[in-house]
Chains A and B, each alone.
Chain A
Amino acid sequence: MLVAQSSDVSSDLGIYLPLVVMFALAAAFAVFSALLGPLVGPSRYNRAKFQAYECGIEPSPQPVVGGGRVPVAYYLTAMLFILFDIEMVFLYPFAVSADVLGLFGLVEIFLFIATVGFAYAYVWRRGGLDWN
């Protein structure tokens, strides 16, 4: 790659050059797409397109039964998702340094998984996974 050759004052920072290039490319792509869309795309507006967010959830209050509330089960599922997301993120650094940590690290990570498992068992047994 081009970084390896640079040997002047900026040689320490040179290793970040690919990152900078990539950020620049990403920004350029975003700006390019945002500019190109209105220019070449058809403009057929409907109500959904005028809403504040278009990320899949209808913004409350909804004009339907439920009083405009998001079902509480949604939050439960979201919390569980975050819990297991965090668990996986913790597994990455463990996997990287598993050889240093040895058996001790293995026991620790199983204890960690077990504690998350207890919480999961509780949610499952008490009906937290039933949507209705």
Chain B
Amino acid sequence: MSVMSSVLFLAQVQPVPSPAPAKIDPPALDAVWPILIVLAAACVGVLFEAFLPRHQRWPAQVALSLLALAGAGVALATYLSDAPEAGEMAMFNTLAVDRPALFLWGTLLALSVGAVLLIADRSVEPGGAFVATAAIRPGTVQDRAQVTATGMQTEVFPLTLFALGGMMIFCAANDLLTMFIALEVLSLPLYLMCGLARRRRLLSQEAAVKYFLLGAFASAFFLYGVALLYGYAGSVRLADISAAAAGTDRSDTLLFAGMGLLVVGLLFKASVGPFHTWTPDVYQGAPTPVTAFMAACTKVAAFGGILRVLQVAFESTQWEWRGVLWGVAIASMVIGAILGLTQTDVKRMIAYSSVAHAGFLLIGAIALTDRGLSGTLFYLLTYGFTTLAAFGVISLVRDSSGEATHLSQWAGLAKRSPLVAGVFTFLLLALAGIPLTSGFVGKFVVFEAAIDDGMAPLVVIALVASAVAAFFYLRVIVLMYFSEPAADGPTVTVPGAFTTAAITLGVLVTLLLGILPSFALDWAAGGAFAIR
């Protein structure tokens, strides 16, 4: 206290003369209504948890979440109808609402509808995929009792909305501090949601702890990078960093050390190899609807951030760092494709597939052209819907202990349930990138942009990796169709309306974007990042 009082005393003795600062006007909100609606609904969701009786929470939360997503979508569409072509800055220049940001917002909102539908389902797993009281210690009598109880932790809905709000801010963040705050807003709810699985509590909690510890580590990398870049440029604004890098003879050490640390933090969130080590464990342990949400939406948000940072802040120095990210992309594709071959758990297999896809996406992200940008955005849209539906299908194949995720249990699934096997086959083919699926178009536009930008060797490696990865997708298909079903094999649960809707949404978008991709490609090519 004495420090404080003497400092105050000092200030009274020698008042610092300062000019009367100008009044600060309230910011215009028309561009950010989608974010505000999502975050406000999340706050209302917390109040629902506080004041509604237990049996009313689930219907109220589901209705609120879906209404909020619809409302945000309407707000986005309304804004899009007369949005400035070059984008605009919002909230005191902290958010850049430009065409890529709007495309990513739309993608995130649409994917979140699917994820919320999967989360809300209570018929596949009686009572929902989420535990009633997550704090009960696994293995105790109370814990065994709550497996069969019908209650579920409805906090997952506001948590989803908070994470979504963070993702939307992350995609549009115009300076690194806003980006860091958004990173935490999107990460913290996800850490919690990973630990809420009703079955296999220990695995779920292990996933949550691993994700939290490694995520905190990655956040520290990000923040250290921000500090070094601030030391270099004297500003955390992306455009200022770009200007500082373009027009000075300052030492590059701070710039590239800062950029390296920053990008490590971003690549971690996007689960790009070799920063992917958390991905298989977390994807396997988390409740499957949450895995779907993470795999689809976190990937979109993280790559939205990577695209903006690379294209806005570091474009002028691309010849210095591009070689390193070449190496990272190769590592990610090779790790994903080869380690995917050795997996025996279908959720882990899709996790390694997501690492390989992150490598493909990174190729598009380091092609610093308009086509690279639009190709990567389109790829994110296609990958998100396909992987969302794939995890939806995985949640349907169950035995008495919960989801049957071991690959041997999937043998002969086509004989028991031709429809589910057919849908999963289609989604695996889309992940492998077979024509007439969205995965093919996505890979095509990304690789085309990469070749245009002089990265042909990288594309050759990517094609080889795709071929290797196709093997493990096809292995599952062969297993489902040409193996005898095990005698005590899993059953396929008849999905409720919510899961059916989510899977149908994913499959339809995958098919539609495979056959008629041009309208979505036009959206993705709507404009470049606003640099201010």
Partner of A104, one of B3, B21, B26: B26
- Give the Cβ gap from A97 to chain B, nearest Cβ, in Å: 8
Interface residues of A in 84-118 (CB under 8 A from B): 97, 100-105, 107, 114-115, 118
For B135, list chain A residues within 8 Å (CB): 72
A1, B27: Cα distance in complex, Å: 44
Do A126 and B49 have beta carbons less than 8 Å apart?
A: yes
Kindly list chain A residues whose C-beta atoms are within 8 Å of the C-beta of B24. 100-102, 104-105
A118 to B135, alpha carbons, bound, how many Å? 21
A102 touches B23 (CB 8 A): yes
How far is it, in angstroms, between the C-alpha of A118 and the C-alpha of B46 when the chains are bound?
7
Residue in B closest to A123 when the chains form the complex, CB atoms: B50
Stretch in B7-15, B382-390, B480-488 touching the partner: B7-15
Partner of B6, one of A18, A105, A126: A18
Q: How far is the CA of A121 from the CA of B52 in the complex (A)?
A: 12
A42-64 interface bits toward B, Cβ cutoff 8 Å, 1 = contact, 0 = none: 00000000000000000000000
Please determine whether A121 and B50 come into contact, CB atoms closer than 8 angstroms. Answer: yes
Determine the distance from Cα of A36 to Cα of B6 in the docked complex, in whole angstroms: 27
| B50 & A122 in contact (Cβ 8 Å cutoff) | yes
Whether A118 lies near B47 (C-beta < 8 A) is yes
What are 15 A-B pairs at a CB distance below 8 A? A3-B13, A15-B14, A18-B6, A19-B7, A22-B3, A26-B2, A72-B135, A105-B24, A114-B43, A115-B43, A118-B46, A118-B47, A121-B50, A122-B49, A124-B50
- Contact digits for B275-295, partner A, Cβ 8 Å, 1 yes 0 no: 000000000000000000000
B51 touches which of A18, A22, A100, A125 (Cβ 8 Å): A125
Using C-beta atoms within 8 Å of the partner chain, give the interface range for chain B: 20 to 34
Could you say which residues of chain A place their CB within 8 Å of the CB of B2?
22, 26
Q: Does B82 reach chain A (CB closer than 8 Å)?
A: no
Residues on A with C-beta less than 8 A from B46 are 118-119, 121-122
* Minimum Cβ distance to chain B for residue A10 (Å): 15
- B1-43 CB mask vs A (1 if < 8 Å, else 0) is 0110011001001100000011111100000000000000001
Complex Cα gap A121–B21 (Å)? 37
Q: How distant is the Cα of A125 from the Cα of B22 in the complex, in angstroms?
A: 43
Residue contact A22 to B6, C-beta cutoff 8 Å: yes
Interface on B for A, CB 8 Å cutoff?
Answer: 2-3, 6-7, 10, 13-14, 21-26, 43, 46-47, 49-51, 135
User: Which residues of chain B are within 8 angstroms of A3 by Cβ–Cβ distance?
Assistant: 13-14
Q: Does A4 contact B (CB under 8 A)?
A: yes
Pick the residue among A72, A104, A125 that contacts B50 (CB under 8 A).
Answer: A125
The minimal Cβ–Cβ distance linking A68 to chain B, given in whole angstroms, is 16
Q: Which residues of chain A come closer than 8 Å to B50, judged between CB atoms? A: 118, 121-122, 124-126
Which B residues are in CB contact (< 8 Å) with A103?
26
Nearest B residue to A103 via CB reads: B26
Residue of A nearest to B6 (CB): A22
Q: Which chain A positions have C-beta within 8 A of B21?
A: 97, 100
Bound: A125/B23 CA distance, A: 40
Residues of A within 8 A of B (CB): 1, 3-4, 15, 18-19, 22, 26, 72, 97, 100-105, 107, 114-115, 118-119, 121-122, 124-126
Distance in angstroms from A123 CB to nearest chain B CB is: 8
Neighbouring A residues of B47 by C-beta, 8 Å: 118, 121-122
Min CB–CB distance A86 → chain B (angstroms): 14
B43 touches A15 (CB 8 A): no
The docked-state distance in angstroms from the alpha carbon of A105 to that of B27 is 11
Least Cβ distance of B114 to chain A in Å? 27
Which B residues lie within 8 Å of A119 (CB)?
46
Q: Nearest 7 A-B pairs (CB), nearest first?
A: A125-B50, A104-B26, A122-B50, A121-B50, A118-B46, A100-B21, A122-B46
Return the chain A residue nearest B14 by Cβ: A15
A18 touching B23 in the complex, CB below 8 Å, given contacts A122-B46, A122-B50: no
- Bound Cα distance from A115 to B36, whole angstroms: 13
- B43 contact set on A, CB distance < 8 A: 114-115, 118
Of the candidates B3, B22, B23, B135, the one having the most CB atoms from chain A within 10 angstroms of its own CB is B23
CA distance A124 to B23 in the complex (A): 38
Distance of A1 Cα from B7 Cα, bound (Å): 13
Min CB distance A2 to B, Å, is 11
Residue with the greatest number of chain B CB neighbours at <10 A, chosen from A4, A72, A118, A125: A118
In whole angstroms, what is the CA distance A122 to B42 when docked?
A: 13
Roughly how many angstroms separate A72 CA and B135 CA in the complex, as a whole number? 10
Q: How far is the CB of B8 from chain A (nearest CB, A)?
A: 12
Q: Which chain B residues lie closer than 8 Å to A126 at the CB level?
A: 49-50
> Who on chain B is nearest to A102 by CB?
B23
A79 shortest CB reach to chain B, Å: 13
Give A72 to B46 CA distance when docked, in angstroms: 22
**A4 touching B14, Cβ below 8 Å:** yes
List 4 additional A-B contacts (Cβ < 8 Å) besides A22-B3, A100-B23.
Answer: A18-B10, A103-B26, A121-B50, A126-B49
In the complex, chain A residues whose CB is within 8 Å of the CB of B26: 103-104, 107
Which residue of chain A has its CB nearest to the CB of B20? A100
User: B25 to A104, Cβ gap below 8 A?
Assistant: yes
Q: How far is the CB of B37 from chain A (nearest CB, A)?
A: 15
The CA of A47 and the CA of B49, in the complex, are separated in Å by: 48
Separation in Å of the B385 CB from the closest CB of chain A? 33
CA distance A61 to B43 in the complex (A): 39
Distance of B54 from chain A, by nearest CB (Å): 11
- Report the bound CA distance from A121 to B50 in whole Å: 6
A96–chain B nearest beta-carbon distance, Å = 11
